[in-house]
Amino acid sequence: MAVDLRTLGGRFKLAPRRGSTLARLSRNIAWGLGSRGFNSVAGILYLALAARTLGPKSFGEFVLILTYGQMIANFVQFQSWKGVIRYGALHLQAERPDRLERLFGYTATLDFSSAFVGALIAVIGAPIVAPLFDWSPQQQMSAALFGAILLLTTGATPTGMLRLFDRFDLVAYAEAVGPLLRLVGCVIAWLAGAGIVAFLIVWATAASAQAIVQWVAAIVSRKSRLAFGPAHFRQGAQENEGIWRFMLQTNISNSVSTFWMQLGTLAVGAVAGAEDAGAFRLAQRLAKGIVRPVRPITVALYPELARLVAKDSRDQLRKMVIRATMVAAGLALLVVLVTGFAGREILTLLAGKQFEFAYVFLFLLSVATAIDLTGIAFEPLQDAHGRAGIVLRARLVAAAAYAVLLAILLPWIGGIGAALAAIIGSGLIFAQLARATASVLKDDRSGTVVGERANVGQVPVTRP
């Protein structure tokens, strides 16, 4: 039976969408820009406070424990919000709220199951990887507990529900909870001169609070219901043809996309030591933080592209992708110029002169980030067409090349080798997705019908 997670009950209402596609996209991007802008500034500030408080060595140890938990989380947690939007848009178009309930229950079940498995991996894996980073028994315990808590705080499904229903305002408020609490906690820890454990507690508490707020917002805002249970799970799989494959592909693709930050940081720590790992992570966080405020373009693009694909609006689809790519390319050039001319000053201002040696990392990693930014519209276009396998293949090829380059360059030139490997990996992803995007847009322009009708009413679903 359907489990009503809201005290007052009731079914969510399929309210008519207001405004044109461009108006919705602009409104959603505005909410996303505000949210990511705040989150980016807060993220840079709280990481800088941690660096100043702990110093290079202790900060590096903190970063290694943090990255260990985050890496496991990113590998086992599904990108359920993409499945909610991809298939939910089709059910909205077909006006099937019952199928939406089963879809939400299906993705939530996957979220909770993967979180439990990941928590077990975090606890079991800590003693195994400890020799690589010279962790003490206390650090092993900290890594295990932090990883387990982080994995149990998943908010992918509720985030997808809010985006599907055009509640980007609530997404913005919910996503601000974690950074805000983290920033406040880091200020207190900085004033108190706290150690590594205090900062880990701050990170875990903020992640837990954000997940709770996301679920409450998703359930209350639309009087949403989620259909749980084995029967609903099986029916949800049948009604959303290919969803398991799509979810698995997007999960692996996202995991590989975080390869650069997480595996790179851990590899630098294992080969070059905790100080270089901390500097590498700080530089990478700053490079990505500069462009993070524009990431909402991707988030806002995906639901609109999914709707345009469902409606077969090919001309609008092509124009939207081209415009987004042109804007992103200009921003990418600006990122490289800023870090090239002012990167040293940025590091000194935020983390102190003791982290000035991370400048080379910052500049090289900003180049990799700029390449990623230029192709900001490529992945959501492929996902909207049900071509998650294309994105996955591109990221796997790049990840394999990155791992090989890490093995060759790290022992030779240390963290700089990891940064150079990130540039090459980003370039490989860009080249592959650019080619795939050109192919999709060419098919649309020539009027080729890509895909077939799935078991979601009379709404066309495309796939490779």
Please provide the size of the chain in residues.
464
pLDDT digits (tens, 9 = 90+) for 77-117: 878 888 888 888 888 777 788 888 888 888 888 888 888 89
Q: Is 242 helix (H, G, I), strand (E, B) or coil?
A: coil
Q: How confident is the model at residue 328 (pLDDT cuts 50, 70, 90)?
A: confident
pLDDT digits (tens, 9 = 90+) for 177-195: 999 999 999 999 999 988 9
Could you tell me the CA-to-CA distances from 455 to 160, 161, 242, 460 in Å, in that order?
Answer: 21, 21, 10, 10
Mean pLDDT of 296-306: 64
Mean pLDDT of 4-27: 48
Determine what percent of the chain is predicted with pLDDT higher than 70: 81
> Residue 62 is encoded by which pair of tokens?
């903190």
**Contact call for residues 444 and 320 (beta carbons, < 8 A):** no
Sorted by sequence, the CB contacts under 8 Å of residue 218 that are 6+ apart come out as 157, 158, 159, 161, 162, 170, 224
User: Does residue 310 surpass a pLDDT of 60?
Assistant: yes
Q: What is the pLDDT of residue 383?
A: 75
Q: Distance (Å, rounded) from C-alpha 113 to C-alpha 78?
A: 10
Q: What is the pLDDT of residue 408?
A: 94
> Residue 412 is encoded by which pair of tokens?
């030779």
What is the amino acid identity at position 45?
Answer: L
Other beta carbons less than 10 A from residue 241's beta carbon: 18
**Contact call for residues 317 and 65 (beta carbons, < 8 A):** no
pLDDT digits (tens, 9 = 90+) for 243-290: 888 888 777 777 777 766 688 899 999 998 889 999 999 998 888 877
